[in-house]
Amino acid sequence: MRFINLGTKEEACHYVANELLKQMISDHQSVLGLATGGTMKDVYARLVELIQMNQLDLSEIKTFNLDEYIGIDSDHPESYNTYMHQVLFDHFSSWNEEHIHLPNGSVEQLDVEAERYEALIDEQGPIDVQILGIGENGHIGFNEPGTSFNSLTSVVNLTESTIEANSRYFDDVNEVPKQAISMGIKSILKAKRIILLAYGPKKKEAVQQLLSGEITTQLPASVLYNHPSVEVILDADAYPNQ
């Protein structure tokens, strides 16, 4: 695992966008593993510019998102489906809707949906590049502390700290969904390459714990030490004192 401090949030976001662009240019049938959250907004803004500048053909790019809330419709303003369409997919008519994948958190049989999603990743993957944020509690995707490293895509309960962190997007904390369908830790590790992005002082403690090198289910991101190709891209505020 390589930790790279790029100084500013802007540099860090541009790095991640550049790596996604390079992947798409090197293989126009790339499979991208995408993440949502505040951290990724500027990554996608830059990626939109880069795709436009390079006039990329997106028709055969496939995407898999990490997670989706349960209990809100996919067209809810705060669903991750809506987020992804707003920040990335809707900017391009050549993006093939059939190649865009997010778990569907509004179906009746959620366990069946989770299994379907995992099988689809296995069928169409492996994911070439998976981008990840990190929760203040060290989660990746919605795999909260304590999650088994063998977990596959499944229905997960969000912790109070995650609900609190995500309440900034909702009018009221009570409106924040309490569950999600999330790719599991084992699903994430199937990707060929992983780039974790973290910036700002709120992420410093989780990054500090990660840097300590201890691999523990209490810090889900620490499982990334078991993967051969992981970069942790940081700004100066998230870079721990050593």
In the complex with ligand PGA, the residue whose CB is nearer, 36 or 63, is 36
Which residue, 110 or 132, is less far from ligand PGA as judged by CB? 132
Rounded Cα distance between 16 and 94, Å, is 22
Residues 127-146 that bind ligand PGA (CB under 6 A): 133-135
What are the catalytic residues? 67, 137, 139, 144
Size of the site for ligand PGA (CB under 6 A): 6
| Stretch binding ligand PGA (CB under 6 A), from 11-19, 32-40, 111-119, 184-192 | 32-40
In sequence order, which residues have a C-beta less than 8 Å from that of residue 191 and are 6 or more positions away? 33, 125, 126, 127, 128, 129, 130, 227
**What part of residues 36-75 is at the interface with ligand PGA (CB under 6 A)?**
37-39
Q: Are strands 31-34 and 62-65 parallel, antiparallel or unpaired?
A: parallel
Question: Restricting to residues 156-215, which ones interact with ligand PGA according to CB under 6 A?
Answer: none
Strand 67-70 versus strand 179-182 pairing type? antiparallel
| Residue 103 near ligand PGA by CB under 6 A | no
Q: Of 99 and 204, which has the nearer Cβ to ligand PGA?
A: 204
Buried b (16+ CB within 10 A) or exposed e, 158-193: bbeebbebbeeeeeeeeebbeebbbbbbbbbbbbbb
Q: Which residues bind ligand PGA (CB under 6 A)?
A: 37-39, 133-135
